[in-house]
Amino acid sequence: MALPPLVEPAAELSVDEIRRYSRHLIIPDVGMDGQKRLKNAKVLAVGAGGLGSPTLLYLAAAGVGTLGIIDFDTVDESNLQRQIIHGVSDVGTPKAESAARSIAEVNPLVNVVIHNTALDRDNVKEIFSQYDLIVDGTDNFATRYMVNDAAVLLGKPYVWGSIYRFDGQASVFWEEHGPCYRCLYPEPPPPGMVPSCAEGGVLGVLCASIGSIQVNEAIKLITGIGEPLVGRLMVYDALEMEYRKIKVRKDPNCALCGENPTVTDLLEDYEDFCGAVSDEAQEAVHGSTITVRELKDWQDSGKDIFLADVREPAEWEINRIPGAVLIPKGEILSGEALSKFPQDKQIVLHCKSGVRSAEALAALKAAGFKDAVHVQGGIVSWVNTIDPSLPSY
């Protein structure tokens, strides 16, 4: 479905702009008019990470006049495998500022607006209202639903992308012309069901594959060319090198954009809506959580403990807490590994950050291991507090 251009063209292009964008100008479908629309466009990138990196670089190179960047995180060494807008010298600096410097190197004609803050219920509408188009590169469900809800409530189109290991997805959500994100995913997945990239990993170059699709869709929307991915979901399998398109219809019963919406404003708490951990896990960790310092004290005092690492084997190869035994969470939830846990020792579980170990703890307690505990903050806290010589990821 072809759509009208999202923005009006700028008055003119300078000689320097004509020279810079000449390869766009000689494409009949883009031409002078399309390039003027790009110049006049204001696009916000939510996140300057894996997807935000190629998105920002290519939007800047394409000549989008104003680029907003919202990201409150700082550059970490583990980001450099995929977040190509940042370099070694940027480690420890705010991502939004690092990204702005890289954009200036690519195209100094672009006006960059930095939002070095966390996107939340209190600021999302005010920030989104400054832009014509939103490009969503977030990696958590709470922010995805908030981005979608704010975009629908403000009547803004946005380009969505998602990546995990070797798989990627992309679409365009615009309530005025098609479905919203809630039409595709009415409810978030159960807590712990879908690991984050930090837990499951992502092939670095996958960010470029999906990010470039997002930029392509943004250019089409701004200039009014081609058929944007409104009402269609692009699914990419990097291992099989296969692209599939799935039709997504507007849901008349959608809680946000349906015929009788029940969501008429932003939710009070998107983290609560998506659930960082399940209700069972929240109940299980109550009174059964220890810190890494308590774990170290137990080890040093010779306490008879059984320390189980519930991460995946690939994570175990990167780092591990001395004395731990690898028992992946999935084997605990399925019941396969329950026989590996002793009845006569203090059972302690840990994962990377504490989310998966909380879910595993709930399963153990349900199986009768009432005295089991888990480690708050997981091995991340161990590295930061106890043993910084261990590699992080």
Known catalytic residues? Answer: 197, 351
Closest CA to 138 of 206, 70, 86: 70
CA distance linking residue 373 with residue 352, whole number of Å: 15
CA distance linking residue 391 with residue 206, whole number of Å: 24
In terms of C-beta density within 10 A (0-12 exposed, 13-18 middle, 19 or more buried), how is residue 372 classed?
Answer: buried
CA distance linking residue 187 with residue 175, whole number of Å: 18
Pairing of strands 66-70, 111-115: parallel
Sign (positive/negative) of CA torsion 250, 252, 257, 259? positive
80, 73 Cβ separation under 8 angstroms: no
CA distance linking residue 52 with residue 238, whole number of Å: 19
Closest CA to 207 of 175, 141, 148, 163: 163
Question: In 162-177, which positions are buried (b, 16+ CB within 10 angstroms) versus exposed (e)?
Answer: bbbeebbbbbbbbbee
Pairing of strands 325-326, 305-309: parallel
